[in-house]
Amino acid sequence: MSWLPDDFVHPVHVPLLDGAYHLRPIREADAPMDYPAVMGSRERLFGIFGPAWGWPAGTMTAEANRVDLARHEREIAAHQSFNYVLLDAAETAVRGCVYIDPPERVGADGEIAWWVVDELVGGEVERALDALVPQWIAADWPFARPRFLGRDLAWEEWLALPGAPDA
């Protein structure tokens, strides 16, 4: 049994702030922009995602990042999980990411997490993304019980939950 309906079509472009930014599925070709965004915010990101995902490792290379994005691109094509990249309108800079995954822990039918680069923390773009993601998930994704990791449930609480049967 799939975690998404067979006829589900994932969104390919989600505007933010009247199109000044947008989300789209990440691609391997985004690696040259993604790596500096991730590593430039690595300490804060590891503080958020490190305990659960071990990411991003301080030793991550540009090549390892490219391989990771290639895997994400394949997973998106197969509807196994989704990594959306937050880009400026011209797609010249990665500004963050949104992850939409099948549940690893009981109590949800989708698990969603997101981040912005350090320079956008606390600003208009982060506030807009924080408002957009739950609305977008409710409107465009087939989840009855989405879980917003680190938002509606602390990461420590999530880690303490039993694993989902299919995880």
Confidence of residue 165 (pLDDT cuts 50, 70, 90): confident
| Tally of domains in the chain | 1
Residue 108 reports pLDDT greater than 80: yes
Mean pLDDT of the chain: 96
- Type and span of the H or E element at 78: none
Q: Give the list of residues 6+ apart from residue 68 with CB closer than 8 angstroms, or none.
A: none
CATH number at residue 61: 3.40.630.30
Q: Is 61 inside any structural domain?
A: yes
| 127-154: pLDDT as tens digits | 999 999 999 999 999 999 999 999 999 9
In a domain, 11, yes or no: no
Q: Is residue 19 part of a domain?
A: no
Convert the pLDDT of each residue in 56-83 to its tens digit: 999 999 999 999 999 999 999 999 999 9
The answer to whether position 87 is within a domain reads: yes
- Look at residue 20 and tell me if it is in a domain: no
**Which pLDDT does position 166 carry in this prediction?**
76
Give me 114's structure tokens.
């997101």
Domain that holds residue 50: 27-160
At residue 45 the predicted structure's pLDDT band, cuts being 50, 70 and 90, is very high
**Is residue 54 in some structural domain?**
yes
- Confidence category of residue 1, pLDDT binned at 50, 70, 90: very low
Nearest Cα to Cα of residue 21 among 98, 70, 93:
93
